[in-house]
């Protein structure tokens, strides 16, 4: 059993704890925590068998803590990952991994030098429908991949008050892209491989809290395929990703539905059972710690995702198509 400390006890940190705390087969249990407001979390922590440390440094110094699960503001991730690695703690970090490629590379290097597991929380990779979709592509059912479309929208931007970190453009550049749309960016990488260049438009149509609510990206993959990605931060919830190939189309409509349309013949629509993807990702982290399969998102992919995100921010600022940093590792 991997004994972990949850770092950050906001809504998402508590969600991660709840996903595994009563699931011993997951291989991980939260026994400690560190948060910026410990007095607001002590009752909740006690009810969950968690001791609250007065600082992150104290959690890292706890010999009973084998790993940290980081659910803190985006700009803190890089330094916290590096500090954990230097303390010999395995690391699971929420997305976005970091906000720039240089810090992402430094964090990966620190974990490699320390010999600790590094896992990034892109939980959509654990959806059965996503795995089936990738299978259609890799087995050749789609033919040559021509184009990828993705859309991840929701009303989250309405809940962010001006002056809070989630409404800070430095913490959440490109509106909802850092909080949610970046999951779709990782989906693009997972399904279609590395991206070479991007163009982005981002604006605020209805929000007045400092956050863009409408962001659209056009991209080209290293394979030559094209892609478009849209994130809305002030709209009804919506998830869709589609792969358009020379021989077929695969489309996820929501998280649990997959449709396939062949160039000729009959297509199909399949429903998949709902999956606790937070539990699945933490279980995979614990399995990697225990010597099982490597976590199914490589450090190279993590760094590449940050490099693409950084290029997207540049593209929105310059109004030009921007190349993804070619020094980013191949994925």
Query: What would the pLDDT profile of 227-238 be if each residue is shown by its tens digit?
Result: 999 999 999 999
Q: What secondary structure letter does DSSP report for 123?
A: G
Distance, in Å, from the CA atom of 186 to the CA atom of 264, rounded to the nearest integer, reads 30
What mean pLDDT is reported for the chain? 95
The percent of the chain in helix, strand and coil, each rounded to the nearest 5, is 40, 25, 35
Structure confidence at residue 176 (pLDDT): 87
* Torsion angles phi and psi, residue 8, rounded to 5: 105, 115
Distance, in Å, from the CA atom of 297 to the CA atom of 111, rounded to the nearest integer, reads 15
Q: Are 170 and 73 in contact (CB under 8 A)?
A: no
Buried b (16+ CB within 10 A) or exposed e, 11-47: ebbbebbebbbeeeebbbbbbbbbbeeeeebeeebee
pLDDT over threshold 90, residue 328: no
Q: Kindly report, residue by residue over 159-187, the tens digit of the pLDDT.
A: 888 888 888 888 888 988 988 899 999 99
Residues recorded for the chain: 331
Distance, in Å, from the CA atom of 280 to the CA atom of 285, rounded to the nearest integer, reads 9
The residues near 86 (Cβ < 8 Å, ≥ 6 apart) are 110, 114
Residue 327 confidence class, pLDDT cut points 50, 70, 90: low
Distance, in Å, from the CA atom of 282 to the CA atom of 292, rounded to the nearest integer, reads 13
Q: Are 233 and 156 in contact (CB under 8 A)?
A: yes
Structure confidence at residue 161 (pLDDT): 87
Q: What secondary structure letter does DSSP report for 49?
A: T
Residue 192's nearest CA partner among 231, 235, 234, 245 is 245
Distance, in Å, from the CA atom of 15 to the CA atom of 19, rounded to the nearest integer, reads 6
Residue 115's nearest CA partner among 288, 316, 326 is 288
Domains in the chain: ranges and CATH: 2-120 (3.40.50.720), 124-323 (3.30.360.10)
Q: Which two tokens stand for residue 159?
A: 């809940």
Mean pLDDT, residues 6-22: 96
Q: Which two tokens stand for residue 162?
A: 């001006």
pLDDT over threshold 70, residue 47: yes
Structure confidence at residue 331 (pLDDT): 52
pLDDT over threshold 60, residue 79: yes
Q: Give the CA distances from residue 66 to residues 32, 49, 94, 106, in Å, rounded to whole numbers and listed in that order.
A: 10, 16, 18, 21
Consecutive H or E run containing 70: strand 67-70
Structure confidence at residue 290 (pLDDT): 98
């Amino acid at each position: 059993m991997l004994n972990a400390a949850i770092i950050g006890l906001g809504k998402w940190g508590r969600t991660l704890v709840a996903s595994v705390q009563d699931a011993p087969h997951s291989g991980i249990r939260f026994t400690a925590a560190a948060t910026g407001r410990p007095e607001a979390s002590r009752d909740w922590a006690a009810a969950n068998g968690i001791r609250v440390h007065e600082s992150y440094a104290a959690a890292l110094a706890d010999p009973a803590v084998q790993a940290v699960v980081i659910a803190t503001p985006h700009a803190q991730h890089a330094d916290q990952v590096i500090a954990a690695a230097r303390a010999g703690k395995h690391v699971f970090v929420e997305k976005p991994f970091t906000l720039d490629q240089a810090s992402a590379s430094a964090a990966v290097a620190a974990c490699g030098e320390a010999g600790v597991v590094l896992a990034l929380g892109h939980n959509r990779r654990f959806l059965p429908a996503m795995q089936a979709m990738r299978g259609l592509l890799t087995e050749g059912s789609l033919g040559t991949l021509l184009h990828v479309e993705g859309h991840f929208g929701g009303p989250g931007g309405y809940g962010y008050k001006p002056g809070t970190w989630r409404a800070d453009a430095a913490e959440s550049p490109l509106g909802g892209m850092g909080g949610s749309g970046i999951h779709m960016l990782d989906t693009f990488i997972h399904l279609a491989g590395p991206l070479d260049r991007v163009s982005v438009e981002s604006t605020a149509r209805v929000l007045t809290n400092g956050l863009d609510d409408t962001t659209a990206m056009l991209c080209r993959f290293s394979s030559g395929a094209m892609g478009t990605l849209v994130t809305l931060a002030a709209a009804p919830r919506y998830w869709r990703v589609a792969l358009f190939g020379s021989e077929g189309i695969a489309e996820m409509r929501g998280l649990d539905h997959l449709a396939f349309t062949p160039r000729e013949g009959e297509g199909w629509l399949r429903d998949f059972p709902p999956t606790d993807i937070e539990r699945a990702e933490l279980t995979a982290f614990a399995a990697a710690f225990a010597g099982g399969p490597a976590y199914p998102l490589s450090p190279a992919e993590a760094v590449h995702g940050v490099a693409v995100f950084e290029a997207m921010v540049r593209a929105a600022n310059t109004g030009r198509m921007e190349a993804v940093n070619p020094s980013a590792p191949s994925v």
